[in-house]
Amino acid sequence: MADLSATIDPDGTGDYTSLNAGDTGEQQDLTDAGGDTFTFNCSSSSGGDDSTAVNLTGWTTAAANFLEVLGDHVSSAFDDSAYIRTASMSLFEEFTRITNVGFSLAATTAIAIGSGVTGPDIRISGCYFKGNSSGSVYAVDSGPDGTGTLKMWNCVINDYPRALNLNQQGGASISVFLENITVYNATSFGFMERASGAMTLGAKNCYIDSPDAFFGTWANDDAKNDYNVITENNAGEVAIGSNGAFNTTASFVDAAGDDLALKSDDTACIDQGQDLSAGDIGFNTDINAVARGATWDIGAYEFVAPAGGIVVLRRRRAA
C-alpha cells in the first residue's frame, strides 16, 4: 500500500495550478495493487486563489483507500495567504476527506455532496468557510444516496445564509455527525434537515448564530444532540440538549475581522463542552491542532490563555 500525492499551487510552484487539473490528471483506482491513498497537498506560495470549480470524480475508493484534499489554512482568523478556494467543490467519491481548506465564495455553495454518492464516508474537518450573507447558498449541501456517514468537525462557517443543508435522497439512511462547529451570522438557517429518507442526526459542542439554528427534525436525545449553544431565543429547541443553552451569545476576538476564536471573557463556550475524544468521530484537538483542554470548549476553537497571562476560572452552567 502506498500513500500517493500531488501538489496544488495556484501560483505555479506545484504539480498543478488547480485542484480540477489535479483531479483530471491523477484519477485512478486506489483499490488495486494492494490499495493506495491519495492526497492533494494544497498551498498558495504567493497568495493566489484556486478559482476553478472541481468535481471530484472518476476515482475508485474504499474505506482504507481514500482521497484527501489537504489544505494549509491553519489560523484563528480567515487567512487569505493560505490555499483558498473561490469556486465550488463537488464530491462524487464515496471515501473523501477535506481537511484544512479555506473557502471564500460569495454566491455559490462551497461543497456539494452529489446524489450519485452511495454509501459514503465523507469527512470534513478544520475548514474555514467564508461567505457574504446573501443568496440561498450553503457552506455544505449534502445529498448522497444509500447508507453511510458524513462527519464534520472543527470547522468555521462564517457569513453563510444557510450553513448546512442535509438533504438525503430516497431511501438513504445516512448518519450525520456534527461536532465542535462554529456558525456565525447564518441569516436564514444553521443546520437544515430536509431528508426524504431515514437519517440519523447528531450535533454536539456546536455554536450556532442564526434565527433558526436547527431546521427540520432533530431528536430530543442527549446521546445524539447535546452541549449546543444557539443565539436563537427558542426554549423549545430540543437539539441544544440538556447541557446546551439558547438565547446565548459567544464573545469572539474579532468577529468583524473574521477571527472567531474565543475571547478570554467568554462565558458561553469556554469550558462548557463535552469531551468527544471517544465519541462518534474521535478527536482531541481544535481547528488549529491545539489540544482540547480538560474541559472542552464549544465551537471550533479551544481557548488558550496567553503565556504569563491571567487565567480566569469560571463556574459551569447548571445542567
What does the pLDDT look like over 43-73, one tens digit per residue? 999 999 999 999 999 999 999 999 999 999 9
List of residues 6+ apart from 142 with CB closer than 8 A: 112, 113, 122, 150, 164, 165, 166, 167, 168, 174, 176
Q: What are 158-168's pLDDT values in tens digits?
A: 999 999 998 86
Q: What are 87-111's pLDDT values in tens digits?
A: 999 999 999 999 999 999 988 899 9
pLDDT at 318 over 50: no
Terminus-to-terminus CA distance in the chain, angstroms?
A: 48
Q: How confident is the model at residue 315 (pLDDT cuts 50, 70, 90)?
A: very low
The answer to whether 112 touches 141, Cβ cutoff 8 Å, is: yes
Q: Which residues pair with 90 in a beta bridge?
A: 55, 112
pLDDT the model gives residue 312:
45
Q: How confident is the model at residue 317 (pLDDT cuts 50, 70, 90)?
A: very low
The answer to whether 79 touches 71, Cβ cutoff 8 Å, is: no
H or E element in which residue 179 lies: strand 174-179
pLDDT at 186 over 50: yes
Q: What are 246-267's pLDDT values in tens digits?
A: 999 999 999 999 999 999 999 9
pLDDT the model gives residue 85:
98
Higher-confidence residue: 237 or 76? 237
pLDDT the model gives residue 117:
81
- Residue 240: strand, helix, or coil: helix
183/128 Cα distance (integer angstroms): 10
The answer to whether 168 touches 193, Cβ cutoff 8 Å, is: no
pLDDT at 153 over 80: yes
- On whether the pTM is more than 0.75, the answer is yes
Q: What are 187-210's pLDDT values in tens digits?
A: 999 999 887 667 889 999 999 999
pLDDT the model gives residue 233:
96
Higher-confidence residue: 76 or 9? 9
Q: Which residues pair with 67 in a beta bridge?
A: 38, 96
212/285 Cα distance (integer angstroms): 28
pLDDT the model gives residue 248:
98
